[in-house]
Amino acid sequence: FSIHELGVTHVLVTGGAGYIGSHAALRLLKDSFRVTIVDNLSRGNIGAVKVLQNLFPDPGRLQFIHADLGDPIAVNRIFAENAFDAVMHFAAVAYVGESTLEPLRYYHNITANTLVVLEAMATHNVKTLIYSSTCATYGEPEKMPITEETPQFPINPYGKAKKMAEDIILDFSKSRKSDMSVMILRYFNVIGSDPEGRLGEAPPPELREHGRISGACFDAALGIIPGLKVKGTDYETADGTCVRDYIDVTDLVDAHVKALNKAERGKVGIYNVGTGRGRSVKEFVEACKKATGVDIKVDYFPRRPGDYAEVYSNPARINRELNWTAQHTELQESLRVAWTWQKKHRSGYADSGRYIF
């Protein structure tokens, strides 16, 4: 890990114990990259890391470092002791609702920590960054679908913190001495899990209320919560519920690997990662009922403040420039795959045995 090796690309995956980060680490390892995961485990799961360690036990394939990106001394030491070729920066708190309750945490964790990572990259001459951003940076666009040229006017601290981090990355990439390869991927609504059932999504129990609709559907199907609360049935959409673009995590990590392979020194790529097709909340709930085989109880409530009617991407640029297209676009199938993992892991990775690091 501490020396550059010809023919081996060593990738630092920040947040690699989290939902998307662990799936990305799995794909990188399958593609013969060398991987270092750095995670403070505040949201990630050591169980996910153990799964990866068991799949790739050979020396020099995978290492896990328990550290906080908010600690510049620790981050600098990690960069000094490891020969990284690229960074995939996933580590972030990522709940819109929570960001309105705890804005300072979001600005610190997302914006300030990205600055720490960039400073370490600059100091230690690591030139390639793949940054995990979000469609929340666009706010409430006037026109659909969203393209990369759609103006960015985020409306919550999560989107604002990500936009600030993007701006810092872009400003640094333009400076004469940076000579960076930068890829910024703005994702839409992530669902699904590893098709072979090795990894899944396991948020901390106290954050379930802020989590994704898929998590709420599965919790309702498992009887963890009594039913599903759908907020807003009077939007100007076909069935009155919100429309979103759901992207399978397997497709998402494929976009990251394609971005890494296409990254060019001194160039910046910005890409929306979505299917280009919007699905309503009602459609999603029906797909979830079919995927789980459970007639989930659904209660309808007034709109949630700050939610917008319709959000979906135009993925033409990433199709054209990275030769990437979403493959897993059957909503019910993505949910069935995720449900298979959820059923076996009612308590998340804790069901895989006790983990010590």
The domain that holds 150 is classified in CATH as 3.40.50.720
Lowest mean pLDDT among 79-93, 176-190, 205-219: 205-219
Q: Is 95 a catalytic residue?
A: no
Helices first, then strands: H and E counts in the chain: 12, 13
Measured in residues, the chain has a length of 357
Task: From 130, 128, 114, select the one nearest 184 (Cα to Cα).
Answer: 130
Q: For residue range 238-271, what is the model confidence (pLDDT) as tens digits?
A: 999 999 999 999 999 999 999 999 999 999 999 9
Question: Is residue 353 domain-resident?
Answer: no
Q: Quick one: what percent of the chain has pLDDT higher than 70?
A: 98
Q: How many CB atoms are located within 10 Å of the residue 91 CB? A: 29
Q: Where are the beta strands (DSSP E) in the chain?
A: 10-14, 34-39, 62-66, 86-89, 128-134, 181-187, 189-191, 228-231, 243-244, 246-248, 268-273, 279-280, 298-301
Catalytic-labelled residue, pool 19, 95, 107, 158: 158
The answer, yes or no, to whether residue 351 has pLDDT greater than 90, is: no
Question: Each residue of 194-243: pLDDT tens digit?
Answer: 999 999 999 888 887 777 899 999 999 999 999 999 999 999 999 999 99
The whole-number pLDDT of residue 211 equals 78
Q: Which amino acid is at 335?
A: L
Q: Is a pLDDT exceeding 50 seen at residue 277?
A: yes
pLDDT computed for residue 356 by the predictor? 37
Cα first-last separation, the chain: 19
Q: How far apart are CA 298 and CA 283, in angstroms?
A: 13
**Is 221 contained in some domain?**
yes
The answer to whether the pTM exceeds 0.75 is: yes
As a whole number of angstroms, the distance between CA 254 and CA 231 comes to: 32
| pLDDT tens column, 319-347 | 999 999 999 999 999 999 999 999 999 98
**How far apart, in whole angstroms, are the C-alpha atoms of residue 352 and residue 302?**
39
What's residue 178's pLDDT? 83
Examine residue 53 and state whether it is found in any structural domain, yes or no: yes
Provide the pLDDT for residue 353. 47
Coil, strand or helix at 66: strand
Range of the structural domain that residue 88 is part of: 10-348
pLDDT in tens, 24-83: 999 999 999 999 999 999 999 999 999 999 999 999 999 999 999 999 999 999 999 999
How many structural domains is the chain composed of? 1
Give the mean model confidence (pLDDT) for residues 287-300. Answer: 97
- Domain annotation covers residue 214: yes
Domain for residue 199, yes or no? yes
Helix, strand, or coil here: 117? helix
**Domain for residue 4, yes or no?**
no
Tokens at residue 30, please?
A: 């399958």
* pLDDT at residue 162 greater than cutoff 70: yes
State percent of the chain over pLDDT 90: 89
pLDDT greater than 60 at residue 20: yes
Q: Is residue 2 part of a domain?
A: no
Q: Is residue 52 part of a domain?
A: yes
Q: Is the model more confident about 353 or about 207?
A: 207
> How many whole angstroms from its chain centre is CA 263?
19
Query: Residue 136: which pLDDT band, with cuts at 50, 70 and 90?
Result: very high
